[in-house]
Amino acid sequence: MDAHQVKPHSTKEMETKRKKAKAGLGGLHVVVDPPQQDGIFDIVFVHGLKGHCWETWTHRDGRKDDGVYWPVDLLPTHIKTARIMTFQYDSKVVFNTSKASLQDTADMLLERIHDKRESLKKEDGTPSDRPVVFVVHSLGGIVVKKALFRANDVHNKTWHDIGDATKGIVFFGTPHRGSDVANTLGPLANITSSGWGWAKSKFLPLLKTHSAPLREVSDEFRHVAPRYMLVSFYEENIHPALRDLVVDKSSSRMGIPHEQTMMMGGDHTSMCKFEQDDARFETVWRAIKSATHAPPGHNKFHTVPADSIQQSVFCHPT
């Protein structure tokens, strides 16, 4: 976007909010907030391992300006009735310590969304039913899967309104299948540890093959997945530094019957960055729009208690 071009819904207050997102301050940042009208829904972006709530979604390609931050610069052109938010969290903490850290981050995401929707309550005090769509990259998808399971726990109604309001999730390169995680995160560790000085051993134990916490997230989510429209993009190109795919096709798919899967041009990092007039972007915004509608038959679903989940066999896509 040209420097002189005004970004959608730009006000002094909104530009201040966007600066906080650019700075990577922790929390949930509103970056687009259209006027109140019928048909408004919320889109929540969640980055992945060592990601950033602004940079993960920004196309630069050597540019010296702000680049193209597509949640602000492109998406509102096609979806005019969305309040757009982006979540910043410390992924190093989530993926380098314990299962509790993942759950804490999922709970924090739910709490931040709850806070942002507090002002939308109906006159009788009941929560808003404004639809929610999540757009996630890589391991951010693990956070959201955990969050939505928590939002459907029959023993904890704190976030049921979010579980009910959520209609769909659009995944970019999320490593869903636990049996493939070691092959996935070995290359990913090479990227992150070399770029930011992490020791691989600090976060790989949680996400490697047969990791109990990751297997638990996948098993849990299968119980709530029928409620939500699911779109999974898998990367087309190998990472230039690795000469391999970071998350391959089979790992990027959950193998759930109503899940839509599509290849996205780019490597694991560039698959979720779009420039002006990017031919790939039409598929993306249409996928996000389709995710505003829950799949047929979702009303037949009922919530399940978290303590009822037993370890099950992963669903392997064919």
Domain at 213, CATH number: 3.40.50.1820
Q: Which amino acid is at 19?
A: K
Structural domain harbouring 228: 12-308
User: Best-predicted range by mean pLDDT among 108-112, 244-248, 252-256, 298-302?
Assistant: 108-112
CA distances to 225, 253, 318 from 256, rounded to whole Å, are: 8, 8, 10
Asked, for residue 7, whether it belongs to a domain, the answer is no
Whole-number mean pLDDT of the chain? 81
Q: Answer whether 223's CB lies under 8 Å from 305's CB.
A: no
* pLDDT per residue as tens digits for the range 258-270: 999 999 999 999 9
Higher pLDDT, 33 or 176: 33
pLDDT more than 70, % of the chain: 76
* pLDDT per residue as tens digits for the range 8-43: 666 788 888 889 988 888 899 999 998 877 778 999
Asked, for residue 134, whether it belongs to a domain, the answer is yes
Residue of 60, 87, 62, 86 whose CA lies nearest to 72: 86
pLDDT of 139 higher than 90: no
Q: Which amino acid is at 197?
A: G
Residue 207 is predicted with a pLDDT of 58
- Split into its structural domains, the chain has a count of 1
- Mention every residue, 6+ apart, whose C-beta is less than 8 A from residue 173: 48, 137, 138, 233, 234, 235, 246, 247, 252, 268, 271, 272
Asked, for residue 29, whether it belongs to a domain, the answer is yes
Give the pLDDT band (50/70/90) at residue 186.
low
pLDDT of 64 higher than 80: no
Residue 180 is predicted with a pLDDT of 43
Residue 237 is predicted with a pLDDT of 93
**C-alpha to C-alpha distance for 124 and 91, rounded to whole angstroms:** 38
Asked, for residue 257, whether it belongs to a domain, the answer is yes
Mean pLDDT across 57-83: 90
Phi, psi at residue 58, to the nearest 5°?
-110, 130
Q: Which amino acid is at 49?
A: L
pTM for this predicted structure:
0.85
* pLDDT per residue as tens digits for the range 86-119: 999 987 666 555 455 888 899 999 999 999 998 8
pLDDT of 50 higher than 50: yes
**C-alpha to C-alpha distance for 66 and 58, rounded to whole angstroms:** 8
Asked, for residue 313, whether it belongs to a domain, the answer is no
Higher pLDDT, 318 or 119: 119
Asked, for residue 293, whether it belongs to a domain, the answer is yes
pLDDT of 48 higher than 90: no
Name the token pair of 29: 């940042």
Asked, for residue 229, whether it belongs to a domain, the answer is yes
- Mention every residue, 6+ apart, whose C-beta is less than 8 A from residue 188: 49, 138, 246, 268
Cβ density class 159-196: b for 16+ within 10 Å, e for less = bebbbbbbbbbbbbbbbbbbebbebbbbbbbbbbbeee
Lowest-confidence segment of 30-34, 175-179, 269-273, 314-318 by average pLDDT: 314-318
Residue 317 is predicted with a pLDDT of 46
Residue 318 is predicted with a pLDDT of 42
Name the token pair of 32: 């687009």
63 burial level (CB within 10 Å; 0-12, 13-18, 19+) = exposed
Mean pLDDT across 294-304: 63
Residue 164 is predicted with a pLDDT of 95
Asked, for residue 5, whether it belongs to a domain, the answer is no
Residue 199 is predicted with a pLDDT of 35
Higher pLDDT, 99 or 176: 176
Give the pLDDT band (50/70/90) at residue 313.
very low
pLDDT of 198 higher than 70: no
- Mention every residue, 6+ apart, whose C-beta is less than 8 A from residue 250: 177, 180, 316, 317
Give the pLDDT band (50/70/90) at residue 3.
very low
> Using alpha carbons only, what angle is made at residue 95 by residues 265 and 269, rounded to the nearest 5 degrees?
15
